[in-house]
């Protein structure tokens, strides 16, 4: 796992945008896995700006979102489908975009079909991820199988509380989600994780330097062949090997840089 420490969230987003630009220039028809939440908002803003000035294009790319709230229609203002349209897809042209259906009648079949669609598109080239304060990725809560596939999950009370800021109250937060599994995420060719703020520091340290355990689903990424973690100083404050991570980044060959 490559750990890149940046001074602030703005620089985290800039680094991530550069990695997306490199991916799309190398392979214009890339299959991209996308995430929601507050962390990637500035990244999406930068990608839209890059598209508008001709630096990059999503016109031949296929996108898959990690997750969606169960029970929310795609036009609900707090759905992740609405989030993605607001922050990215209403501003750019993309070949195809898929997101789990929060109103799926047969959830198990829908999840199987989502997995099939990812495979049918050739698998995900670059998967964007955030990390929850309890170490979850996607909505794979602590205790999730590290081999899990797309499925319905029940949110923990902590995640409900963390997400309440996006709703009128904690009571309004859905208790169930449809999410890609850890095993699904691990099949992406490159995983890109973003984390900012002191509230993520403990989860980041457990993910990078702790044991691989289902209690911290993000720790499975230690076993991924190509995983890049980009964090700000606040999120990196509990890491023990920061000097080494900085040394590696500062001495990267030019061809490895975005």
Active site residues: 67, 134, 136, 141
Q: Which two tokens stand for residue 183?
A: 């095993």
CB 15 within 8 A of CB 258: yes
Helix (H) or strand (E) holding 154: strand 151-154
Please name which of 110, 83, 129 lies closest in space to residue 178, comparing C-alpha atoms: 110
Name, in order, each residue with C-beta under 8 angstroms of 30's C-beta and a sequence gap of 6 or more.
Answer: 23, 24, 61, 62, 125, 126
Distance between CA 56 and CA 25 in Å, rounded?
Answer: 7
Distance between CA 92 and CA 90 in Å, rounded?
Answer: 6
CB 30 within 8 A of CB 125: yes
Distance between CA 41 and CA 181 in Å, rounded?
Answer: 23
Please name which of 213, 191, 197 lies closest in space to residue 2, comparing C-alpha atoms: 191
* Helix 9-26 × helix 41-52 angle, to 10°: 50
Distance between CA 135 and CA 159 in Å, rounded?
Answer: 10
Burial of 142-161, coded b for 16+ CB within 10 Å and e otherwise, reads bebebebbbbbbebbeebbe
């Amino acid at each position: 796992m490559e750990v890149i420490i940046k001074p602030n969230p703005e620089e985290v987003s800039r680094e991530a945008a550069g990695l997306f630009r490199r991916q799309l220039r190398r392979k214009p028809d890339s299959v991209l896995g996308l995430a929601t939440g507050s962390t990637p908002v500035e990244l999406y803003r930068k990608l839209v700006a890059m598209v508008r000035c001709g630096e990059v294009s999503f016109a031949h790319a296929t996108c898959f979102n990690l997750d969606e709230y169960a029970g929310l229609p795609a036009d609900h203002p707090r759905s992740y489908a609405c989030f993605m349209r607001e922050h990215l897809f209403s501003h750019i042209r993309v070949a195809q975009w898929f997101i789990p259906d929060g109103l799926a009648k047969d959830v198990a079949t829908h999840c199987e079909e989502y997995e099939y669609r990812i495979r049918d598109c050739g698998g995900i080239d670059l998967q964007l991820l955030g990390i929850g304060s309890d170490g979850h990725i996607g909505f794979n809560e602590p205790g999730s199988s590290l081999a899990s596939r797309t499925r319905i999950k029940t949110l923990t009370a902590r995640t409900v509380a963390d997400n309440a800021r996006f709703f009128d109250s904690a009571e309004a937060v859905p208790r169930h989600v449809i999410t890609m599994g850890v095993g699904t995420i691990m099949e992406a060719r490159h995983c890109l994780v973003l984390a900012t703020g002191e509230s993520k520091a403990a989860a980041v340290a457990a993910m990078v330097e702790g044991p691989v355990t289902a209690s911290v689903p993000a720790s499975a990424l230690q076993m991924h062949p190509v995983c890049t973690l980009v964090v700000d100083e606040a999120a990196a404050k509990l890491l023990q090997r920061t000097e080494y991570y900085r040394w590696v980044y500062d001495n990267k060959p030019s061809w490895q840089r975005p």
